[in-house]
Amino acid sequence: MKVLLVVLLGALFQGSYATLLIKGPIEPVLEGDTVTLECLFTDSEVNISQVRFEVFSKYVQGWHEVYERSWCFYSMVIEQTANSLFLTIPRAGRYFEGPYRCVSDAENVTAPDNASTPLGFKVNYMGDVMLSREGYTSYLGVPQELRVRLGEDVVLTCSASSSEEPDFFWNKEGSDWILPSPKLTLNKVTAMDQGQYTCMAKHSVQSLSKKRTISITVLPENAPWYESSNGRLILMTSAAGTAIMVFILSVTVFLCRRAKQSKTSKGPIDDRSQTKPIYRASVESLTSTTADKQPLV
Protein backbone atom coordinates (compact mmCIF):
# COMPACT_ATOMS: atom_id res chain seq x y z
CA MET A 1 0.00 0.00 0.00
CA LYS A 2 2.84 2.35 0.83
CA VAL A 3 4.56 1.51 -2.46
CA LEU A 4 1.38 2.32 -4.40
CA LEU A 5 1.02 5.63 -2.58
CA VAL A 6 4.59 6.61 -3.44
CA VAL A 7 4.00 5.82 -7.14
CA LEU A 8 0.83 7.90 -7.19
CA LEU A 9 2.55 10.81 -5.51
CA GLY A 10 5.43 10.53 -7.96
CA ALA A 11 3.06 10.62 -10.93
CA LEU A 12 1.26 13.62 -9.46
CA PHE A 13 4.58 15.35 -8.84
CA GLN A 14 5.68 14.66 -12.40
CA GLY A 15 2.43 15.87 -13.93
CA SER A 16 2.49 19.04 -11.88
CA TYR A 17 6.09 20.08 -12.39
CA ALA A 18 7.01 18.74 -15.83
CA THR A 19 6.81 22.16 -17.52
CA LEU A 20 7.13 22.46 -21.29
CA LEU A 21 9.86 24.92 -22.28
CA ILE A 22 11.07 26.52 -25.51
CA LYS A 23 14.61 27.82 -25.97
CA GLY A 24 15.99 30.05 -28.69
CA PRO A 25 18.94 32.28 -29.65
CA ILE A 26 20.46 34.44 -26.93
CA GLU A 27 22.62 36.54 -29.30
CA PRO A 28 21.29 39.08 -31.84
CA VAL A 29 20.10 37.30 -34.98
CA LEU A 30 21.28 38.72 -38.31
CA GLU A 31 19.51 38.15 -41.60
CA GLY A 32 20.90 34.96 -43.11
CA ASP A 33 22.01 33.43 -39.79
CA THR A 34 21.07 29.88 -38.77
CA VAL A 35 18.53 29.81 -35.93
CA THR A 36 17.68 26.76 -33.79
CA LEU A 37 14.72 26.47 -31.41
CA GLU A 38 14.38 23.66 -28.84
CA CYS A 39 11.33 22.17 -27.12
CA LEU A 40 11.93 20.22 -23.90
CA PHE A 41 10.37 19.29 -20.56
CA THR A 42 11.83 20.19 -17.19
CA ASP A 43 11.43 16.49 -16.40
CA SER A 44 13.41 14.40 -18.88
CA GLU A 45 11.18 11.36 -18.26
CA VAL A 46 8.22 12.89 -20.10
CA ASN A 47 7.65 11.67 -23.67
CA ILE A 48 8.82 14.35 -26.14
CA SER A 49 7.33 12.52 -29.15
CA GLN A 50 3.92 14.09 -28.45
CA VAL A 51 5.24 17.64 -28.73
CA ARG A 52 5.11 19.92 -31.78
CA PHE A 53 6.11 23.48 -32.73
CA GLU A 54 3.54 26.17 -33.48
CA VAL A 55 4.00 29.67 -34.89
CA PHE A 56 1.68 32.65 -34.56
CA SER A 57 0.47 34.10 -37.85
CA LYS A 58 -0.10 37.86 -37.84
CA TYR A 59 -2.24 37.59 -40.97
CA VAL A 60 -4.84 35.16 -39.62
CA GLN A 61 -4.23 36.12 -35.97
CA GLY A 62 -3.88 32.54 -34.82
CA TRP A 63 -1.48 29.69 -34.06
CA HIS A 64 -0.74 26.94 -36.57
CA GLU A 65 1.62 23.99 -36.61
CA VAL A 66 5.11 24.33 -38.08
CA TYR A 67 5.82 21.71 -40.75
CA GLU A 68 9.20 20.72 -42.09
CA ARG A 69 9.58 22.18 -45.56
CA SER A 70 12.24 23.31 -48.00
CA TRP A 71 11.23 26.13 -50.35
CA CYS A 72 14.29 28.12 -51.44
CA PHE A 73 15.28 30.27 -48.44
CA TYR A 74 12.07 29.41 -46.56
CA SER A 75 13.38 26.02 -45.44
CA MET A 76 12.80 24.52 -41.98
CA VAL A 77 14.16 21.28 -40.50
CA ILE A 78 12.57 19.49 -37.52
CA GLU A 79 14.58 16.86 -35.62
CA GLN A 80 13.66 14.82 -32.56
CA THR A 81 16.10 13.40 -30.02
CA ALA A 82 15.48 11.39 -26.86
CA ASN A 83 14.56 14.41 -24.73
CA SER A 84 14.19 17.38 -27.11
CA LEU A 85 12.56 18.55 -30.31
CA PHE A 86 14.59 20.92 -32.51
CA LEU A 87 13.48 23.35 -35.19
CA THR A 88 16.28 24.68 -37.41
CA ILE A 89 15.95 27.67 -39.75
CA PRO A 90 19.06 27.63 -42.02
CA ARG A 91 18.64 31.22 -43.23
CA ALA A 92 16.75 33.56 -40.93
CA GLY A 93 14.72 36.31 -42.53
CA ARG A 94 12.34 38.97 -41.32
CA TYR A 95 9.41 36.56 -41.93
CA PHE A 96 10.73 34.04 -39.37
CA GLU A 97 10.54 36.20 -36.26
CA GLY A 98 7.59 34.30 -34.78
CA PRO A 99 6.54 34.09 -31.98
CA TYR A 100 6.88 30.29 -31.59
CA ARG A 101 5.69 27.92 -28.89
CA CYS A 102 5.81 24.21 -27.99
CA VAL A 103 2.51 22.32 -27.66
CA SER A 104 1.92 18.86 -26.17
CA ASP A 105 -0.73 16.52 -27.61
CA ALA A 106 -0.79 14.30 -24.51
CA GLU A 107 -4.34 13.40 -23.47
CA ASN A 108 -3.81 14.11 -19.77
CA VAL A 109 -2.74 17.72 -20.38
CA THR A 110 -5.15 20.43 -21.53
CA ALA A 111 -4.78 24.08 -22.51
CA PRO A 112 -3.23 26.30 -21.36
CA ASP A 113 -0.98 23.86 -19.48
CA ASN A 114 -0.13 21.98 -22.69
CA ALA A 115 1.77 24.92 -24.24
CA SER A 116 5.01 26.66 -23.40
CA THR A 117 5.46 30.38 -22.98
CA PRO A 118 5.76 31.91 -26.51
CA LEU A 119 9.23 32.86 -27.74
CA GLY A 120 10.06 35.37 -30.45
CA PHE A 121 13.34 36.67 -31.80
CA LYS A 122 14.25 39.75 -33.81
CA VAL A 123 15.99 39.43 -37.17
CA ASN A 124 18.31 42.41 -37.67
CA TYR A 125 18.99 43.61 -41.21
CA MET A 126 19.91 46.68 -43.23
CA GLY A 127 19.83 47.23 -46.98
CA ASP A 128 22.10 49.45 -49.05
CA VAL A 129 22.05 53.20 -48.45
CA MET A 130 20.01 54.98 -51.12
CA LEU A 131 20.39 58.63 -52.15
CA SER A 132 17.78 60.96 -53.60
CA ARG A 133 17.96 64.59 -54.66
CA GLU A 134 15.18 66.98 -53.78
CA GLY A 135 13.24 68.12 -56.83
CA TYR A 136 14.27 65.14 -58.97
CA THR A 137 12.74 61.73 -59.47
CA SER A 138 14.00 59.07 -57.07
CA TYR A 139 13.45 56.21 -59.53
CA LEU A 140 16.69 56.89 -61.42
CA GLY A 141 18.68 57.52 -58.25
CA VAL A 142 21.64 59.87 -57.91
CA PRO A 143 24.81 59.31 -59.99
CA GLN A 144 28.13 58.54 -58.31
CA GLU A 145 29.38 61.95 -59.50
CA LEU A 146 26.87 64.77 -59.19
CA ARG A 147 27.77 67.63 -61.56
CA VAL A 148 26.04 70.90 -60.68
CA ARG A 149 26.40 74.46 -61.95
CA LEU A 150 27.71 77.26 -59.78
CA GLY A 151 24.93 78.80 -57.66
CA GLU A 152 22.60 75.79 -57.73
CA ASP A 153 20.92 74.40 -54.62
CA VAL A 154 21.71 70.78 -53.74
CA VAL A 155 19.58 68.86 -51.22
CA LEU A 156 20.45 65.18 -50.78
CA THR A 157 18.61 62.66 -48.58
CA CYS A 158 19.86 59.19 -47.68
CA SER A 159 17.67 56.29 -46.59
CA ALA A 160 17.96 52.55 -45.98
CA SER A 161 15.61 49.63 -45.49
CA SER A 162 16.32 48.40 -41.97
CA SER A 163 14.91 46.37 -39.09
CA GLU A 164 15.02 49.58 -37.07
CA GLU A 165 15.29 53.27 -37.83
CA PRO A 166 19.03 53.90 -38.35
CA ASP A 167 20.93 57.00 -37.31
CA PHE A 168 22.25 59.01 -40.28
CA PHE A 169 25.37 61.16 -40.37
CA TRP A 170 26.88 63.26 -43.18
CA ASN A 171 30.48 64.35 -43.43
CA LYS A 172 32.78 65.78 -46.09
CA GLU A 173 36.24 64.38 -46.82
CA GLY A 174 38.91 66.69 -45.43
CA SER A 175 36.47 68.55 -43.16
CA ASP A 176 36.02 68.18 -39.41
CA TRP A 177 32.25 68.59 -39.27
CA ILE A 178 29.62 65.84 -38.88
CA LEU A 179 25.95 66.46 -39.63
CA PRO A 180 23.61 64.15 -37.64
CA SER A 181 20.79 64.09 -40.18
CA PRO A 182 19.66 62.09 -43.20
CA LYS A 183 19.43 65.35 -45.21
CA LEU A 184 22.36 67.36 -46.55
CA THR A 185 21.58 70.89 -47.79
CA LEU A 186 23.99 73.00 -49.84
CA ASN A 187 22.51 76.38 -50.79
CA LYS A 188 23.95 78.16 -53.84
CA VAL A 189 27.01 75.95 -54.15
CA THR A 190 30.45 77.45 -54.72
CA ALA A 191 33.79 75.95 -55.65
CA MET A 192 34.42 75.41 -51.91
CA ASP A 193 31.51 72.94 -51.78
CA GLN A 194 33.13 70.60 -54.27
CA GLY A 195 34.38 67.28 -52.86
CA GLN A 196 33.50 63.83 -51.54
CA TYR A 197 30.46 63.53 -49.25
CA THR A 198 29.61 60.39 -47.26
CA CYS A 199 26.35 59.41 -45.63
CA MET A 200 26.71 56.85 -42.83
CA ALA A 201 23.69 54.78 -41.71
CA LYS A 202 24.32 53.32 -38.26
CA HIS A 203 22.46 50.28 -36.92
CA SER A 204 22.41 49.20 -33.26
CA VAL A 205 24.25 46.09 -34.48
CA GLN A 206 27.51 47.70 -35.54
CA SER A 207 28.33 45.12 -38.22
CA LEU A 208 25.19 46.09 -40.14
CA SER A 209 26.11 49.78 -40.48
CA LYS A 210 26.61 50.95 -44.08
CA LYS A 211 27.62 54.08 -45.95
CA ARG A 212 27.36 55.72 -49.36
CA THR A 213 29.80 58.24 -50.84
CA ILE A 214 29.02 60.73 -53.59
CA SER A 215 31.29 63.15 -55.43
CA ILE A 216 29.99 66.69 -56.07
CA THR A 217 31.62 68.61 -58.93
CA VAL A 218 30.83 72.33 -59.26
CA LEU A 219 30.81 73.55 -62.88
CA PRO A 220 31.38 77.17 -63.90
CA GLU A 221 28.26 79.32 -64.03
CA ASN A 222 28.52 79.63 -67.83
CA ALA A 223 29.05 75.89 -68.38
CA PRO A 224 26.77 74.33 -71.05
CA TRP A 225 23.57 72.94 -69.55
CA TYR A 226 24.22 69.47 -70.96
CA GLU A 227 27.44 69.09 -68.94
CA SER A 228 25.53 69.01 -65.66
CA SER A 229 24.04 65.79 -64.29
CA ASN A 230 20.56 67.21 -64.84
CA GLY A 231 21.36 67.97 -68.49
CA ARG A 232 22.78 64.49 -69.07
CA LEU A 233 19.67 63.00 -67.50
CA ILE A 234 17.47 64.99 -69.88
CA LEU A 235 19.53 63.86 -72.89
CA MET A 236 19.46 60.24 -71.75
CA THR A 237 15.70 60.34 -71.16
CA SER A 238 15.10 62.00 -74.51
CA ALA A 239 17.25 59.44 -76.33
CA ALA A 240 15.45 56.58 -74.60
CA GLY A 241 12.07 58.09 -75.45
CA THR A 242 13.07 58.58 -79.08
CA ALA A 243 14.30 54.99 -79.33
CA ILE A 244 11.01 53.71 -77.93
CA MET A 245 9.00 55.83 -80.37
CA VAL A 246 11.08 54.62 -83.33
CA PHE A 247 10.56 51.02 -82.23
CA ILE A 248 6.79 51.50 -81.89
CA LEU A 249 6.53 53.17 -85.31
CA SER A 250 8.61 50.43 -86.93
CA VAL A 251 6.42 47.70 -85.47
CA THR A 252 3.27 49.57 -86.48
CA VAL A 253 4.44 49.99 -90.10
CA PHE A 254 5.45 46.32 -90.26
CA LEU A 255 2.08 45.15 -88.99
CA CYS A 256 0.18 47.47 -91.35
CA ARG A 257 2.13 46.25 -94.39
CA ARG A 258 1.63 42.64 -93.38
CA ALA A 259 -2.11 43.17 -92.97
CA LYS A 260 -2.30 44.90 -96.38
CA GLN A 261 -0.47 42.04 -98.12
CA SER A 262 -2.73 39.49 -96.46
CA LYS A 263 -5.79 41.42 -97.64
CA THR A 264 -4.71 41.84 -101.31
CA SER A 265 -3.35 38.32 -101.91
CA LYS A 266 -6.00 35.82 -103.10
CA GLY A 267 -6.11 32.09 -103.48
CA PRO A 268 -6.96 30.21 -106.75
CA ILE A 269 -10.68 30.23 -106.02
CA ASP A 270 -10.85 33.98 -105.33
CA ASP A 271 -8.69 35.02 -108.30
CA ARG A 272 -11.10 36.06 -111.07
CA SER A 273 -8.37 35.81 -113.72
CA GLN A 274 -8.20 32.06 -113.25
CA THR A 275 -10.59 29.54 -114.79
CA LYS A 276 -13.24 28.54 -112.31
CA PRO A 277 -12.77 24.99 -111.04
CA ILE A 278 -15.21 22.26 -111.93
CA TYR A 279 -16.11 20.12 -108.97
CA ARG A 280 -16.48 16.34 -109.26
CA ALA A 281 -20.08 16.33 -108.12
CA SER A 282 -21.05 18.70 -110.96
CA VAL A 283 -19.28 16.52 -113.58
CA GLU A 284 -21.07 13.36 -112.40
CA SER A 285 -24.41 15.13 -112.47
CA LEU A 286 -23.78 16.46 -116.00
CA THR A 287 -22.77 12.98 -117.30
CA SER A 288 -25.89 11.40 -115.83
CA THR A 289 -28.18 13.99 -117.47
CA THR A 290 -26.56 13.56 -120.92
CA ALA A 291 -26.94 9.79 -120.79
CA ASP A 292 -30.63 10.12 -120.05
CA LYS A 293 -31.24 12.30 -123.13
CA GLN A 294 -29.64 9.88 -125.71
CA PRO A 295 -32.25 8.26 -128.07
CA LEU A 296 -32.97 4.57 -127.84
CA VAL A 297 -31.85 2.51 -130.88
- What is the chain's length? 297
> Which pLDDT belongs to residue 215?
93
What would the mean pLDDT of 251-261 be, rounded to a whole number?
A: 67
Q: Please tell me whether residues 216 and 146 are part of one structural domain.
A: yes
Compute the distance between CA of residue 193 and CA of residue 82 in angstroms, rounded to an integer.
68
Q: Please tell me whether residues 116 and 152 are part of one structural domain.
A: no
What would the mean pLDDT of 94-105 be, rounded to a whole number?
A: 90
Task: Using pLDDT thresholds of 50, 70 and 90, give the confidence band for residue 48.
Answer: confident
- Helix (H) or strand (E) run with residue 66 in it: none
Q: Please answer whether residues 168 and 182 qualify as being in contact, where contact means their C-beta atoms are separated by less than 8 angstroms.
A: yes
Compute the distance between CA of residue 124 and CA of residue 161 in angstroms, rounded to an integer.
11
**Residue 289 belongs to some domain of the structure:** no
**Residue 296 belongs to some domain of the structure:** no
What would the mean pLDDT of 223-249 be, rounded to a whole number?
A: 51
> Which pLDDT belongs to residue 223?
67
What would the mean pLDDT of 222-236 be, rounded to a whole number?
A: 51
Q: Please tell me whether residues 106 and 136 are part of one structural domain.
A: no
70 has a pLDDT exceeding 70: no
Q: Please tell me whether residues 19 and 110 are part of one structural domain.
A: yes
> For the chain, what is the mean pLDDT?
77
Compute the distance between CA of residue 80 and CA of residue 90 in angstroms, rounded to an integer.
17
Would you give the distance in Å from CA 72 to the centre of its chain? 13
Q: Please tell me whether residues 146 and 205 are part of one structural domain.
A: yes
Query: Domain holding 99: CATH number?
Result: 2.60.40.10
Residue 98 lies in domain: 15-124
Share of the chain above pLDDT 90, in %: 44
Nearest to 57 by CA among 97, 25, 102, 116: 97
pLDDT in tens, 112-163: 778 999 999 999 999 999 999 887 765 566 888 888 888 899 999 999 999 9
Question: Is the model more confident about 26 or about 70?
Answer: 26
What would the mean pLDDT of 62-91 be, rounded to a whole number?
A: 84
**Residue 265 belongs to some domain of the structure:** no
Domains held by the chain: number? 2
